[in-house]
Amino acid sequence: MSGVEQVPDWADKRVNEQFDAAIEPGQSEHAYVVLHRAFARYIAAHEEAPVDPLLLEARACAASAQSTGAADLTMAGGMDSQPIVVACLAALRRGIELAKTGGAA
């Protein structure tokens, strides 16, 4: 976007949750957009992005096949780029896709 700073989608969502109720009727759309972006930047700078619920499930799946030390590291997010977690996440996503279409593997 030219001239407009990008903010993460999750921060935009938090703005919508917190800010929309505070806008008074009759305020100009431009004022709303400027305030919305400023608040989203603030949220992005001060909060952590939410973790994908499927990633949490993939961590649990991978951890169930690991020793205690590795499982603890996996559950803490320290193995997210490792093949076991990546494969579990891909399997979860594929299962959801198949469930939506009623297909079989």
- pLDDT per position as a tens digit, 56-75: 999 999 999 999 999 999 99
**% of the chain beyond a pLDDT of 70:** 82
Three-state helix/strand/coil letters over the chain: CCCCCCCCHHHHHHHHHHHHHHCCCCCCHHHHHHHHHHHHHHHHHHCCCCCCHHHHHHHHHHHCCCCHHHHHHHHCCCCCCCHHHHHHHHHHHHHHHHHHHCCCC
| pLDDT for residue 2 | 42
What mean pLDDT is reported for the chain? Answer: 83
State the average pLDDT over residues 5-10.
Answer: 79
Span 11-16, average pLDDT: 79
